Amino acid sequence: MNVTFEMVRSSPEIRTYITQADASLTALGFTEHSFAHVTKCAEVAARILTQLGYTPKEVELARIAAYMHDIGNVVNRHDHALSGATMAFRILDKMGMEPPDVAAVITAIGHHDDSTAYPVNAIAAALI
């Protein structure tokens, strides 16, 4: 795998979007959605797929999707899953992630929102 969770977690670009998304949600009256939230989501998604026997690659992709799942809140809370998936596509493509891996991550992000959530694949299910 050419883009890892550690690369995503340490990306200044992604960290900026998470920070600003959290600030926007705080202003809207939501609970904390910064690094504690996305890190916990990444840990839980990875643990779920590990316990169910998925491959290390699928676990890593779930970890990445969960870490990035709320970056769309930097645009707006409304449809944040869709804007987040679009943002993740651009970021991960620019980082050099392989298209099938990008597709898996953005599919999970795009399907995680409470009102439209659907487990279209194992990574999306773990994220939800």
CATH of the domain at 123: 1.10.3210.10
Q: How far is CA 113 from CA 39, 73, 79, 128, in A?
A: 18, 11, 8, 8
Six token digits for residue 70: 């709320």
Domain-embedded: residue 1: no
Domain-embedded: residue 83: yes
The total number of structural domains in the chain stands at 1
Domain-embedded: residue 100: yes
Contact 72, 80 (CB under 8 A): yes
Q: Which residues contact 30 (CB under 8 A, 6 or more apart)?
A: 77
Domain-embedded: residue 57: yes
Please give the single-letter amino acid code of residue 102: V
Domain-embedded: residue 5: no
Q: What is the pTM of this model?
A: 0.94
List the chain pLDDT tens, one digit each, 128 residues.
Answer: 799 999 999 999 999 999 999 898 888 888 777 899 999 999 999 999 999 999 999 999 999 999 999 899 887 767 888 999 999 999 999 999 999 999 999 999 999 887 788 899 999 999 99
